[in-house]
Each structure stands twice: as C-alpha cells, then as structure tokens.
Structure 1
Amino acid sequence: MGTDDPASVPARLADAITAQAVPELPENPAAEVVLAYAELHALTRHQDFPLYWACPNVRDKASLYSELLDTSELAADTVAGGVPPQPGEALDHFSRACARSRGEDDTPGFRTFMGAQLHGTIPLFRRYWQHVATITAAQRPNLGITHCWLVEALASRQQAGPAPTR
C-alpha cells in the first residue's frame, strides 16, 4: 500500500497489510535475501502493479482488505499443504468478498469474470510474494501467496460457481 491509499482504510488495517506486503530488509541478510529484495522493488515498477493495489472498481476497500486478510487465514493451511487450487470455503469467502466490494452478486458469471480479470496478474504477483516470503523467512503462506491460490481457483475451469448458502 502507499501514500495513495484511500482514506477510508483504517490505519490499523493499512498497517496490517503493509506489514505483510512491504517487508524490512533484515540485518546482515544472505545474498539470496538481498537479491529477492532488489527484485521485489523492481517488480513494483511493472505497469500492472499499481492497478493490483488500487482495485479501481471496488467501492469499499476497507471491507475488502479486511475480508482478504480473513480469507488468507482460511486458505493458509490448505495452501501450505500443497493442495492445488480448488473450490471450497476459502474460495467462496473470497468470491463473496470481491462481489460485495463491487456491489455485485457472487454468481458463476461473476466468478468467471473475476477469474479472467485477475488471472493475468498471477505470475507477476506470485513472484512478488515469493520474494516477500524469502525476505521474511516465512514458514506459512503469506497474504499474497494465498491470494494467488484463490485467484487460480477462481480462474480454474473446474470452478462451477458458489457453493449453496447454508
């Protein structure tokens, strides 16, 4: 996140996301960490990078960001277990959050649209978040790695639509 973040995002939420997305370079880093840090910053100059954070069609960024943090927690164990992207509770939560943030319904058509919209950015952001994991020596998947997994699940041809509401 950065100085152009919407004022509607509470500082505590912005800080939580920034803490995950913008790691500090550790003291006396290994060469691998220095290289990861350098590429991390180079990736932020890619033309698609600002759009990823801006979420231009999102009406309520604070709610979306908060729900994305929750969804990341829901998906973390599955992602850490090496399970391929697939439908499930975390994906349903993710898709509902995206739909609500845009003032739309979570339908199969919406999921197809969002999967197509977001899927092209996955290689860029997977590299970014893998570098974040290298820098932080993370043991669990971070917010971005789980986000990539969820987008890949959303974009999967196997994804038929939302699970029935209970």
Structure 2
Amino acid sequence: MWSIGELAEQAGVSVKTVRFYSDRGLLPEAARSTGGHRRYGPGAVDRLRLIRSLRTLDLPVPEVSRVLDEEDAMEDVIAAQLRDLGCRLAALRWREAALQLLQDCTPRERAERLRLIAAVPLPPDTTVLARFWRRWLPPRMPAPLVAAVVEQAVPQPPDAPNPAQVLSFARLYAFVSGVHVAAAHCQPEAHRSDKGYRPAVLYEGLGEAYALASPELRARRPGREGEALDCFVSAYARSHGTRDTPGFRRGLAAVLSRDPRIDRYWQLVAELTGPSQPTAGAAHDWLLDALDAQTGRTGSAPSTSKDTWST
C-alpha cells in the first residue's frame, strides 16, 4: 500500500496532483491508515500514469473518467476529440485567411470587409444558405428531393481557404441573409401556385439536365442542341403535363427570360469553388443560351454573370 507521498514519488508527480485526481474520483484510494491518511493499492501507479497520459492530450476530466471506467470508451472519446480538434483547426485557418484579407486591403475596403467577416460564424456554417434554398424552392416538394437540391446548391466552405475565398463566402452569407425570397414578387414564374404544375417532376428533370450540361461547360462549348437541352425542356413539359413541341419551346424561352434571377449567388459560389466545378446556375444559363439559339430568340434578359438559376 502506498501513501500519497510515496505514490507521487513513484509516478514522478506532485502530491497536489495525486490529491487533485483523487478528489475527482479518477484515482480511488484503496484504504485509510489508522490516522486517516489515504492509502493506494499496487495498481495506482499505472492508473495515475494513464491519467497523466490522457491529460497530456487535453482530454477533459469527465472524458478521462469515461476511458478509465468504460471498457470500450476510448475509441468514442478519441473520435469526439478529433472532431472537436478539426473544428478548432478549421476556425483557426479561416481566421488566419480573414486576417490576411484585412491586412492586404485599403482602409476604405477594410471597414466593409470587417463587417462582412464578423457576420460569419467560425468555423463557417451553411445553415443560412440551406434555409435560403428551402424558402426559394416551390412548396409541396418531397423532402428527399429538397435535400438533394439543397445539397447541390449549397457549397461547402473549403477547409483551408485563401483570403479571396473567405471574402466570397462572407459576401455569399450576407447575400442570403438579406434576400427575402419568400416574397411573391421574388419567386420565379414557374413557382407560382396558380400554375398547377408538378414541382417534383420539374426539379428531378432539371438535376439530370444540369448533369448532362456540365461536361459542355467544362469543355467551354457554347450552348447548343443535344441531349442536355432535350432533357431540360422535357422537364418543364412533363411538369406541366404537356408535350415538347417547337411552340412549347418558344413559349418556354420567353417565360424563362422574364423570370427573376439570382446571378449574384451563383457568381459568388463560382468564386468560392473555382472553375473546375460548374454550378447548377451556370448549367441553367448554358441551357437557356441553347434554347434561345434554337428558337431564334435574341436580346434575352441580360445577366451580370454566367451563373444563374431562374427556374
């Protein structure tokens, strides 16, 4: 049996350390002397060394207690600590890039950038962006389809951003926070409740059409006829319960050219993700160009960028 001083000496720690872990239940005493002093059994040295090893990894005392008392707790505790550490590292990388962004700008730019950056939580969160899309999308859509559209439309912040990406994400965050997409006049014509169409059919078809258009965008080809355009028009026709005819295509081109656009959103997404990942907005714009070229429309509503989704 060890006294508290003997145990501290054997483990190479202070008496205060042994008492601290004992008081918190991590190092239970085996008995008390006749004078009321603590006594520890032969396994106390190994247990104390394990406690010290776990604490050097910055494990909180409650987590150390779990590892000591639960046979299978080590893996769960380690996984949780890795997740926590990953979040903290991501926050530090974003903070570093944000500071570089503020350092490399003029005093006039600094005030605006500081306001934008301060509004973004660290590490950055995409909840506001997802909420934007759920409000933008038409009602009565199946939850799995809504989730799929939101996943495609909401970019994930890079783990190690550069200053330009921090600025793009901050501007994107401000954009979705300030746009009231629930207002009727902000909704695309295809979303209006008086149209009597099937939104699930439309958005399932649009997702397929965007995927078909992406290789064309990567190859930098102009909008043209083909499978992607046929799939795009078919999605609108089927959602309205009609046939794809030359007259329908001309009418669709006219309707889509009048729809409100969210070009700014897709422009910022493109800045954040880079040119190697065509956005759904860029695919939609490419398909509109192809439809206009086929139907002979000219002078369509101009957009500020080649990233738009006006469905």
Same fold per TM (> 0.5)?
A: yes
Structure 2: which 5+ runs fail to align? 1-132, 297-311
CA distance in 1, matches of 2:245, 2:286: 20
| Secondary structure in structure 1 of the residue aligned to 2:242 | coil
Aligned position for 2:175: 42
Question: Kindly, what percent of the aligned residue pairs are identical?
Answer: 37
Say whether 1:118 aligns with 2:256: yes
The equivalent of 2:91 in structure 1 is none
**Matched length:** 158
1:18 to 141, 145, 150: 150
Deviations 1:64-107 (A, max 9, x none): 11111111111111121111111111101111111111222212
CA shift digits 1:31-79 (9 cap, x unpaired): 3223333443437728898413962236111111111111111111112
Question: Which structure would you say has the larger Rg?
Answer: 2
RMSD in angstroms over aligned alpha carbons? 3.1
What amino acid is the match of 1:42? F
CA–CA separation in structure 1 for the residues paired with 2:156 and 2:217: 24
Q: How far apart, CA to CA, are the structure 1 residues paired with 2:136 and 2:219?
A: 36
Q: Does 1:51 align with 2:187?
A: yes
Normalization by structure 1: what TM-score?
0.76
Q: CA distance change for structure 1 residues 151 and 11 in 2, over 3 Å: closer, same or farther?
A: same
Q: Which shows bigger deviation, 60-69 or 49-58?
A: 49-58
Segments of structure 1 that go 5 or more residues without pairing to the other structure are: 161-166
User: 2:165·2:272 contact (CA, 8 Å) conserved in 1?
Assistant: yes
* Structural mapping, 1:127-142, within 5 Å: 127-137=264-274, 139-142=276-279
Q: Does 1 or 2 have the higher relative contact order (CA < 8 Å, sep 6+)?
A: 1
Letter in 2 for 1:129: W
**Equivalent-residue separation in structure 2 for 1:138 and 1:98 (angstroms):** 28
| Whole-angstrom CA distance in 2 between matches of 1:4 and 1:130 | 17
Cα pair distance change 1:79/1:126, threshold 3 Å:
farther
Most deviating of 80-89 and 130-139? 130-139
1:76 matched to 2:210? The reply is no
CA distance, structure 2, for counterparts of residue 13 and residue 82 of structure 1 = 29
Matching residue of 1:64:
202
| Residue 146 (structure 1) aligned with residue 303 (structure 2) | no
CA gap of 1:16–1:64, structure 2 versus 1, over 3 A, is: same
The equivalent of 1:163 in structure 2 is none
Instruction: Report the TM-score, using the length of structure 2 for normalisation.
Output: 0.44
1:118–1:37 distance in 2 versus 1, CA, 3 Å: farther
Contact 2:141/2:199, CA 8 A, preserved across alignment: yes
SS in 2 for 1:2: helix
SS in 2 for 1:66: helix
Are residue 8 (structure 1) and residue 144 (structure 2) matched?
Answer: no
